[in-house]
Amino acid sequence: MTSTTTSSVAAHWDGLATLQDQGDGWQRPFRLDPTGEDYDLNPPLWDGAARSVGVRGRWTVDGQGTWTLPVRVPAEGQVTLDLIVDGELRRQELAAGEHRVSTEVDGPGEIDVWLPHNGIVDISAPVVTGTATAAPVEPSGPRWLTYGSSITQAGGADGPTQTWPALVAQRRGWRLWSLGFGGQCHLDPAVAERLAEAEADLISLCIGINIYGNGSFNARSLGPQLEGFIRRVRKGHPTTPMVLITPIVSPAREETANKVEWTLAELRAVVDQVGRSLIARGDANLRVVDGLTLISAEGMAGELSGDGLHPNTEGYRLIAEAIGPSLAEAMATGQPS
């Protein structure tokens, strides 16, 4: 009888700021480093930072046996993980409670796991059994940081590889760090500081829909706040290519005044004005993309959205196709710092 051996495997997780120890061998990915922050001052942001949008790992494998990643979902409900084997989506896993993402190993190959885009998950060290061996792959490629709202998080996509940032990054071979926070894109100083500190070859900012929905800034305050946010990021990245994306269309909100008495169309014009003003005053590595060009009003009022605000999987695919060339052009012509 041949005995079965089990051994732990190292991991190089990408798309995150830190892994926070949860005890008993569990770690929680955070997309913003919470060190020194008071969660009670902004609970929704730090809850969003613990959602593992765009966080992924890659391993080379060989031999025969199984490769397994233990995961734990600390909240009620299910989350979705994508398991990719040799470049092909093997399956999407719905995980709840303690769960094991597992696949057979039979000879040389490569395994990728994308952690959930729609919830919080804890992870433990991967393990292999039998004669199987595994080694983590160091992340490579240009690093793209993208900041935005639930539309950037894309929690309604079918899986973590189907968000629009994930689709762009996979096609272009970029290292994605997604800072999409559902309901929480309000130009927080903590986000600007982290963006300024992080390594980046490209930065994109999709600004506006949460500000409209929450009334967090008005016609007097948004322009200076957005310019200040960009200037703060620029302190760490004076010449890094940066793309400012105005809000995509939301038909019911375009001409409807919010609680601070301005419409989404008016807000979009201010975001555009800030970007173009900074360009005119010498920011040669900033460009502005009109969100109205990324997805149609007809689609958002119909088959591409269930609520007229958030695209569905097909809508995110179309956004990725539309925005990808502008991001690639910015990456190619900019001067990373």
Tell me the Ramachandran region of residue 282: left when phi exceeds 0, alpha when psi lies from -120 to 50, beta otherwise.
left
- The verdict on 131 and 156 lying in the same domain is no
**pLDDT for residue 55 is more than 50:** yes
- Residue 89 CB-density burial (10 A; 0-12 exposed, 13-18 middle, 19+ buried): middle
CATH number of the domain residue 19 falls in = 2.60.120.260
Query: Tens digits of per-residue pLDDT, 246-275?
Result: 999 999 999 999 999 999 999 999 999 999
Model confidence, pTM? 0.95
- The verdict on 162 and 307 lying in the same domain is yes
**pLDDT for residue 28 is more than 60:** yes
Query: Tens digits of per-residue pLDDT, 229-246?
Result: 999 999 999 999 999 999
**pLDDT for residue 335 is more than 90:** no
Tell me the Ramachandran region of residue 283: left when phi exceeds 0, alpha when psi lies from -120 to 50, beta otherwise.
beta
Single residue among 75, 107, 136 that ends a domain in this structure:
136
In a domain, 98, yes or no: yes
Single residue among 136, 171, 194 that ends a domain in this structure:
136
In a domain, 91, yes or no: yes
> Are the CB atoms for 308 and 301 separated by under 8 Å?
yes
- The verdict on 95 and 218 lying in the same domain is no
- The verdict on 21 and 101 lying in the same domain is yes
DSSP bridge partners of 135: 60
In a domain, 158, yes or no: yes
pLDDT of residue 1: 37
- The verdict on 303 and 156 lying in the same domain is yes
% of the chain with per-residue pLDDT over 90: 93
- The verdict on 207 and 245 lying in the same domain is yes
- Residue 142 CB-density burial (10 A; 0-12 exposed, 13-18 middle, 19+ buried): middle
Q: Which of 3-7, 39-43, 86-90 has the highest mean pLDDT?
A: 86-90
- The verdict on 322 and 181 lying in the same domain is yes
- The verdict on 169 and 247 lying in the same domain is yes
Domain of 319 in residue numbering reads as 143-333
Tokens 């975001």 identify what position?
A: 271
Based on the structure, what is the number of domains in the chain?
Answer: 2
Dihedral angle of Cα 256, 258, 261, 266, to the nearest 10 degrees: -60
Please provide the average confidence, as pLDDT, over all residues in the chain. Answer: 95
What does the DSSP assignment read for 187-224?
A: --HHHHHHHHHS--SEEEEE-SHHHHHHT-S-TTTHHH
Cα–Cα distance measured from residue 47 to residue 177, given in angstroms and rounded to the nearest whole number: 17
pLDDT of residue 2: 46
DSSP bridge partners of 259: none
In a domain, 1, yes or no: no
- The verdict on 262 and 285 lying in the same domain is yes
| pLDDT level of residue 333 (50, 70, 90 thresholds) | confident
Cα–Cα distance measured from residue 5 to residue 133, given in angstroms and rounded to the nearest whole number: 11
In a domain, 320, yes or no: yes
Cα–Cα distance measured from residue 166 to residue 199, given in angstroms and rounded to the nearest whole number: 18
CATH number of the domain residue 167 falls in = 3.40.50.1110
**pLDDT for residue 65 is more than 50:** yes
Single residue among 102, 136, 170 that ends a domain in this structure:
136
- The verdict on 166 and 106 lying in the same domain is no
In a domain, 195, yes or no: yes
| pLDDT level of residue 38 (50, 70, 90 thresholds) | confident
pLDDT of residue 35: 85
- The verdict on 132 and 158 lying in the same domain is no
Tokens 């969660």 identify what position?
A: 39
Query: Tens digits of per-residue pLDDT, 149-199?
Result: 999 999 999 999 999 999 999 999 999 999 999 999 999 999 999 999 999
Q: How far is CA 13 from CA 21, 155, 165, 198, in A?
A: 14, 20, 17, 16
- The verdict on 131 and 154 lying in the same domain is no
